[in-house]
Amino acid sequence: MLRGYARVASTTDDAGDQVERLEAAGVAAGTIRVDTSLGTRGARPALETVLGELRPGDVLVVTGLDRLASSVLHLVQVGQRLHALGADLRSLDERVDTVGEGEVGVLPTLELLAGLQRTLVSASTRAGLDAARARGRRGGRPPRLTAESAAEAQRLYDEGRSVTEIAEKLDVPRTTVYGHLRRPT
């Protein structure tokens, strides 16, 4: 059975064009679900409904992949759900049709692309942090102990004082003291 899904970005948009295209593709009017989703992270109750209605052998038809998912990762997650349900995906704009593909085809390719996207974001973040460090910027919270206080903590520790005593004297948590100690090897 063909089931349709359409999404518009705001309450002023009209899903009429998408619904007409889905019907022209053979989707019965009563099986088309429409969401109004504000933003990429907005709730999509109609998508959850249509995914709940799918049975093995059914095909989810959308006008475009951008109407179905907010990111490549989200698309992969929806694709995995479809695969687990034994359902297929057809996108009219991109001419994607997973019917009869088996284990090779669009969904595994999308999983690879999602992995690539995560890798690129991670690499970009690392490059940005490295560039900031090269400019002398440090990330994270500033140290609670000054260099003098850290040296005092180390001296007291080397004298045999407990970490609890040192923490009370410096008015910091014990974990802070532990973070600044160089323990003898």
10 is catalytic: yes
Round to the nearest angstrom and report the end-to-end CA distance of the chain: 69
Residue 6: φ, ψ to 5°: -135, 155
Find, among 3, 74, 91, the residue nearest to 39 by Cα.
74
* Mutual angle of helices 163-170 and 147-158, in 10-degree steps: 150
Q: Which of 10, 37, 70, 162 is catalytic?
A: 10
Q: Does the CA dihedral 142-147-151-156 come out positive or negative?
A: negative
* Mutual angle of helices 45-53 and 72-85, in 10-degree steps: 30
Catalytically active residues, by annotation:
10
